[in-house]
Structure 1
């Protein structure tokens, strides 16, 4: 029996994609702003988490230019990672927050400010919010840049 090379490539390619599919967005993906409108507790937690940041970056109060949440897992617990950036200037400033989906708590996050020099990035400053643990930082970090 001879298996075609095309079939082998299809099977191998599908197997390689499986780990990435677990992080794919579901059709019911939600934006943090919409979740905050429907859940005052989440809105209150977001405001508290971003309180210090909002003093210098008022755009975070309105969630900025945002992406829908993405589900990630850590130690058997699901989290939603929400991110947003400064409107019309995403490369300059962005944030990410982590919500425990079971408890509906939003208590960790990060805010990043980038400084450019010439044609490239000169420096970045990350302000961690809510004292996240190292594993939680690893969940949020990919959304920061």
Structure 2
């Protein structure tokens, strides 16, 4: 009985922690832009990159997923070009502890549908270089949404 009670308490604690993390963070591209702190990280991330106008205006969004690597909780979120999700997609990985954002813009070549142009934003030589790229691309393919527990790296 004590094991069941301890397990139930642990499950509730994890659920509450996840909810409080999610409640306090911007979870979509549009909420990032409205958040005064996160919007600064977004502006720094996109510096020196020309983003499509739909990214600035807003696209079709998905709610962010919590992921972790390098011992930090992060949120990964995606958006796509309205009515053309297969042709242009955008992912953001947001580290709220450091207020840093990483991004990936994926554009499919209209003449060669099997060719994708990937534009990586704000990725350097740290842990975000490898794991961040994996998470961002996986978010655009739907893997993060389908298998969220698989993207918690140490």
When normalised by structure 2's length, the TM-score is 0.64
Question: Does the 8 A contact of 1:53 with 1:111 survive in 2?
Answer: no
Other-structure match for 1:44 = 40
Question: Does the 8 A contact of 2:74 with 2:96 survive in 1?
Answer: yes
- Name which structure has the greater RCO, CA cutoff 8 Å, separation 6+: 2
Distance 1:100 1:63 in 2: 21
Distance 1:30 1:59 in 2: 18
Report how far residue 100 of structure 1 moved.
0.7
When normalised by structure 1's length, the TM-score is 0.68
Report how far residue 34 of structure 1 moved.
1.9
The structure having more radius of gyration, on CA atoms, is 1
Report how far residue 134 of structure 1 moved.
0.8
Distance 2:131 2:91 in 1: 15
More strand by share: 1
Other-structure match for 1:97 = 92
- String of CA shifts for 1:4-31, please: whole Å, max 9, x gaps: xxxxxxxxxxxxxxxxxx9xx9685832
- Structure 2: state its 5+ residue gaps: 1-14, 142-154
- Structure 1: state its 5+ residue gaps: 1-21
Q: How many residues align?
A: 116
Distance 1:144 1:30 in 2: 15
Distance 2:122 2:27 in 1: 22
Other-structure match for 2:131 = 135
Question: Does the 8 A contact of 2:29 with 2:79 survive in 1?
Answer: no
